Amino acid sequence: MSDSTAPTDDVWTVQRILQWTADFLQQKEVESPRLEAELMLAHARNCQRIRLYTDFETPLADDERARMRDFVKRRAGREPLAYITGRKEFYGRDFAVGSGVLVPRPETETLIDVCLEHIPPDQAVKVCEVGFGSGCIAVTLAKQCSRVSVDATDVSSHAMSFATQNVANHEVGQQVTLFEGDGFGPLPREPAGRFDGIVSNPPYIREDEMAMLMPEVAVHEPREALVSGADGLVLVRRLVSEAVDWLTEDGWMVLELDPAQCERVVELFRAAGFAKTAIHQDLSGNDRVVSAERS
């Protein structure tokens, strides 16, 4: 029998591979199997997702199939989709991400909104960020406010490499300066009390909580970006107590937290001498962000 009579079922068309992948990812308990199959195939074919629908009957080229096979295998091992596609959208912009940095989360957009409430438009404002990760917070603040400058730190060299890329991609190198090191440690000490605001999405998960998280987070994302001691607040306590040395007299600080930690962190801020505090909800209605002002 000649090749031309080979049953079309043997041909891996776009439609067929999408169906197969969606079924396979469903068995592996991936949350949105069809959507993720489409996003991976679009990435493997280097095309827009919408294009898959006009190419339904098109067979995949060998290199596209090889790339797709690799992506599906990784996703079945519960590697985050964002590490496979190498990008994640945050606050309407695209960020390069990969193994070694925390994938930007939608709830962190609330952290941005609360910072923006504290930043007067058209004023030169100096912000410090601890734990920049992919750089999504520092870059977003710089993009939203052209007169904001951000000095940001992170202990991770992976974070440094992704954030450097994102600062360059979004052309905010004039506004954002990245320092590698722990907490406020790598920042120049002088002049003291120079920041108008401090922002952080610190590690805040309790050690005993790690085992309960999805494998995407627990196995694949960087532990130092997630966990902070038995109650999840080891780094937060340190940042709150050191913050006053870095802030202006009417400076502010904004932290992302677990909903169950917010009340406790309000108390920490009060004990550290902050005058005004507030708890803010994320888009799912959970307490997520605590803000505090010195006066």
Assess 71 for contact with ligand GLN (CB under 6 A): no
Cα 257 from Cα 35, distance rounded (Å): 29
What backbone torsions phi and psi does residue 10 show, to the nearest 5 degrees?
Answer: -80, -10
Assess 217 for contact with ligand GLN (CB under 6 A): yes
Assess 235 for contact with ligand GLN (CB under 6 A): no
What does 125-137 look like in DSSP terms, one character per residue?
A: EEEEEE--TTSHH
Q: Which of residues 149-178 bind ligand GLN (CB under 6 A)?
A: none
Crossing angle of helices 136-144 and 157-169, in 10° steps, is 30
What backbone torsions phi and psi does residue 257 show, to the nearest 5 degrees?
Answer: -145, 175
Nearest distance from C-beta of residue 78 to ligand GLN, angstroms: 14
Tell me if residue 21 falls in helix, strand or coil.
helix
Q: What's the angle, vertex CA 256, arms to CA 253 and CA 267, rounded to 5?
A: 60
Nearest distance from C-beta of residue 217 to ligand GLN, angstroms: 5
Nearest distance from C-beta of residue 23 to ligand GLN, angstroms: 28
Q: Quick one: which of 119, 205, 265, 289 contacts ligand GLN (CB under 6 A)?
A: 205
Q: Which of residues 178-197 bind ligand GLN (CB under 6 A)?
A: none
Q: Which of residues 85-114 bind ligand GLN (CB under 6 A)?
A: 105
Nearest distance from C-beta of residue 220 to ligand GLN, angstroms: 11
Length of the chain, in residues: 295
Assess 203 for contact with ligand GLN (CB under 6 A): yes
* Binding positions for ligand GLN, rule: CB under 6 A: 105, 201, 203-205, 217, 226
